[in-house]
Structure 1
């Protein structure tokens, strides 16, 4: 019962933070897109891919290993902390060395000046990994959420100010660097933990087997999640990459708000249920239906209104982002099943099965990428959607070895929300057809959104799906906890 209270409270705080952050980032992103151009985003994204890959190496799976362990001491924390720092500094030097090659390869001389600054993300992020891990183990998501919001606010305000002052592409760099720097500083101020002056890396040995296999899995996931953007930037144009990236980022905002908040809380919670498969399976199903209840209407609703939304809020130069966004939103529908299944694998498996499944998933992804990359950027977007679907299926089949988690369970937890969301989309499109050409576009957009929300709310009241019942329970328990 105490565990459930921690989970409910943690999910409430984390989701509130992620949702507010997503809304704020969307607003700031719209402001920046009015100042900047697609090729600015394309250039920055190429460099971000390399920082993302290096960040995985810095962590090396040790954060998950620490969260997963039942008992962790100062020796383990200190060893992982210094491993993170040394690895980050070494990788930063490697990135500096390859910067001239990247600038030449992508025919982007501006990278020579941008990269040394942006690559500082790697060491900056490494300084607060342990503080974040400790707070996660304690279910103190309120602190993490609060500092993430403050950091996002600081980074976004600086970015908007820089863009308005004519700093151009540097405003994107300022946002990406300042946000994690502020969060890291706040976590250090808040945390009582400090590394030991004397450290023994032998404390890492018990975690090496699990963390190394998880590293291989995470690194392949990160590479394959971003490799299409590297190909677009090289084979097509940075402008095309900018359109694709904006579509992907705006798709990721609502998905990450739900997935990250649930995953960050449920991974340590499910870890405590690893010796009780029945309870773990029930909890995993509950988490899945909650995410489906939220993600399906958001993704399909965005597909329905994005055309009018961009026409109202952005210059015409951003209209080509619409088809990429719509295609990539479909991939977000498979995220709940994939993430929950993968969490089960991380908890129940020793890492060997995860690695074997990653080989299968990456073989599938390689074939899809090989087919779609020469066909154009839209084909790449469709390929990414198919890859997300195949990942979800493979993860579910793997998790089924431990919890009798079947494909039918996935369909059963998905179908009601797909049907309800389809009716909602029909209401949105019907509203648009009735009003188009009669009133201002901004008014049509507002009425479309209202009609979609009303349709989904009405269906929820009529059908009372399991996801809604779970959400209502979470809200009631959160309200009760606040009054105690």
Structure 2
């Protein structure tokens, strides 16, 4: 009975996640692509370099308190008040740290504009301090309808503001101010929807258990952050802002589907897995199903986009971004593995196996750093090749460790990968065969290739991967 209730809650939450994304992402993508056409590779390079520190600190404050609140079976107002006191102390400290280290970071990159960006972005931490607890409680209660609506309103407002500023020649400030506005509006709306009246208490002794779990999550978050940002950190030192911008754009374009979908799926999966954390057999069953559906869904998305990105980038973003095509293709072909790897995180965290995640991420970070240092001299293309060389090896090691830790069949996960790869390979071959016949760059040609590719994948999946295809269709019909 509890399992049925959980299934209904997960499906209901997923509906609101998908609905919120469908309503906002088409609009946001149009706005984003329009902004990219207006800005330069240098603009994106400066924002990407500043984002290395900002994202690092955001990850720390985001992982310290929220996961502990969501994962906890019982939590009272006194503990929440003490946690709120901790939130205020941590966020204020991080604000001061970023503000006063901005000049030092700028000197590392030899780019004064980076300091200005960081000093403005630093104010986000003070704003977010009032978002943490009401947002975590909404997530804990699986109130994803409210979360989706809030996210949609704030994201759309920020996207419009960013575009208007870009049209008025504000350059990289368009992105910076848009992000600050998004965080501010999201905080205001979360408080309005879920007002939590707490007076901060600066005694964390009773909340130490929650902070201990959050602290371990932070350690993993720091290492994972290094893993996901070491490329720009190394590139910013050895390459020009324009070259960093080309790679950052390639990465942003390739990660766009993942950045919009994966965080929300993990947001749903973590509280869902936490509710069945004591039922290891059911948790393993869900993990296998999630991986099966992940490959069935992500291979056509990422490989399909890789097959048409040679048309999409010049048409959507403009000729000045042509050099981003090959790095983007390389990253896109690797993305289904990265998506699959991160989908193990919620299940492992629900079992408090954060130490296991730390080891996984250390393996990945070491392999990627070595590859980057060897290939950074080849510019944006070399950075993309570093990912392609290192990550498949890392994935093989980590998925084996994950399956052992969760009592999941490694063979079952391997089978999940084979059929979508076959169907995706047929799709890619079909699209590239079309390019030999119709090679001109045009919108009609791009949509024709997308349509034929999608049809090819669905038909081959119907023949070779029918079970997973039916599961996906059933999931979105519920």
> 1:315 corresponds to which residue?
318
CA contact 2:363–2:394 (8 Å) conserved in 1:
no
Matched, 1:465 2:466: yes
Task: Describe the shift of the 1:31–1:280 C-alpha distance in structure 2 as closer, same or farther (beyond 3 A).
Answer: same
Alignment of 1:21-60 (within 5 A): 21-60=24-63
What are the Cα deviations for residues 139-193 of structure 1, in whole angstroms up to 9, with x where unaligned?
Answer: 1111111111111100010011111112122111121111111111110110032
The alpha carbon displacement at 1:417 in A equals 1.1
CA contact 1:124–1:184 (8 Å) conserved in 2:
yes
> 1:331 corresponds to which residue?
334
In the alignment, the residues of structure 2 paired with residue 455 and residue 352 of structure 1 have an alpha-carbon distance, to the nearest angstrom, of 42
CA contact 2:43–2:172 (8 Å) conserved in 1:
yes
> 2:282 corresponds to which residue?
279
Structure 1 range deviating more: 158-167 or 82-91: 82-91
Structure 1 range deviating more: 258-267 or 42-51: 258-267
Matched, 1:224 2:197: no
The alpha carbon displacement at 1:456 in A equals 1.8
> 1:431 corresponds to which residue?
434
> 1:173 corresponds to which residue?
176
The alpha carbon displacement at 1:220 in A equals 0.8
Matched, 1:84 2:102: no
CA contact 2:65–2:87 (8 Å) conserved in 1:
no
In the alignment, the residues of structure 2 paired with residue 390 and residue 8 of structure 1 have an alpha-carbon distance, to the nearest angstrom, of 34
Matched, 1:417 2:439: no
In the alignment, the residues of structure 2 paired with residue 426 and residue 124 of structure 1 have an alpha-carbon distance, to the nearest angstrom, of 49
CA contact 2:59–2:222 (8 Å) conserved in 1:
yes
> 1:482 corresponds to which residue?
none
| Correspondence for 1:135 among 135, 138, 141 | 138
Alignment of 1:22-421 (within 5 A): 22-198=25-201, 200-421=203-424
Task: Describe the shift of the 1:61–1:407 C-alpha distance in structure 2 as closer, same or farther (beyond 3 A).
Answer: farther
In the alignment, the residues of structure 2 paired with residue 448 and residue 73 of structure 1 have an alpha-carbon distance, to the nearest angstrom, of 55
What are the Cα deviations for residues 10-57 of structure 1, in whole angstroms up to 9, with x where unaligned?
Answer: 112113334544433321121112211001011011111111111122
Matched, 1:16 2:19: yes
CA contact 2:41–2:243 (8 Å) conserved in 1:
yes
Gaps of 5+ in 2: none
In the alignment, the residues of structure 2 paired with residue 80 and residue 176 of structure 1 have an alpha-carbon distance, to the nearest angstrom, of 26
The alpha carbon displacement at 1:390 in A equals 4.2
CA contact 1:396–1:405 (8 Å) conserved in 2:
no
In the alignment, the residues of structure 2 paired with residue 201 and residue 349 of structure 1 have an alpha-carbon distance, to the nearest angstrom, of 21
Task: Describe the shift of the 1:299–1:60 C-alpha distance in structure 2 as closer, same or farther (beyond 3 A).
Answer: closer
Structure 1 range deviating more: 367-376 or 127-136: 367-376
What are the Cα deviations for residues 65-113 of structure 1, in whole angstroms up to 9, with x where unaligned?
Answer: 2211111222232323332222122111122212222223322222343
CA contact 2:82–2:201 (8 Å) conserved in 1:
no
SS of the equivalent of 1:168 reads: coil
SS of the equivalent of 2:112 reads: coil
In the alignment, the residues of structure 2 paired with residue 116 and residue 46 of structure 1 have an alpha-carbon distance, to the nearest angstrom, of 14
In the alignment, the residues of structure 2 paired with residue 295 and residue 43 of structure 1 have an alpha-carbon distance, to the nearest angstrom, of 30
The alpha carbon displacement at 1:197 in A equals 4.7
The alpha carbon displacement at 1:336 in A equals 3.7
SS of the equivalent of 1:460 reads: helix
What are the Cα deviations for residues 247-306 of structure 1, in whole angstroms up to 9, with x where unaligned?
Answer: 111111112333223211111111111111111111111111222221110100111101
SS of the equivalent of 2:344 reads: helix
The alpha carbon displacement at 1:224 in A equals 2.1
What is the root-mean-square deviation in Å for CA atoms of aligned residues? 2.1
In the alignment, the residues of structure 1 paired with residue 63 and residue 206 of structure 2 have an alpha-carbon distance, to the nearest angstrom, of 15
CA contact 1:154–1:179 (8 Å) conserved in 2:
yes
Task: Describe the shift of the 1:345–1:90 C-alpha distance in structure 2 as closer, same or farther (beyond 3 A).
Answer: same
The alpha carbon displacement at 1:210 in A equals 2.3
CA contact 2:85–2:201 (8 Å) conserved in 1:
no
> 2:457 corresponds to which residue?
456
Task: Describe the shift of the 1:103–1:150 C-alpha distance in structure 2 as closer, same or farther (beyond 3 A).
Answer: same
Q: Provide TM-score, normalisation by structure 1.
A: 0.92
SS of the equivalent of 1:319 reads: helix
Gaps of 5+ in 1: 478-484
Task: Describe the shift of the 1:352–1:108 C-alpha distance in structure 2 as closer, same or farther (beyond 3 A).
Answer: closer
The alpha carbon displacement at 1:59 in A equals 3.2
Task: Describe the shift of the 1:230–1:198 C-alpha distance in structure 2 as closer, same or farther (beyond 3 A).
Answer: closer
In the alignment, the residues of structure 1 paired with residue 395 and residue 94 of structure 2 have an alpha-carbon distance, to the nearest angstrom, of 32
In the alignment, the residues of structure 2 paired with residue 275 and residue 360 of structure 1 have an alpha-carbon distance, to the nearest angstrom, of 28
What are the Cα deviations for residues 320-342 of structure 1, in whole angstroms up to 9, with x where unaligned?
Answer: 11111111112311134312322
CA contact 1:416–1:465 (8 Å) conserved in 2:
no
In the alignment, the residues of structure 2 paired with residue 86 and residue 56 of structure 1 have an alpha-carbon distance, to the nearest angstrom, of 16
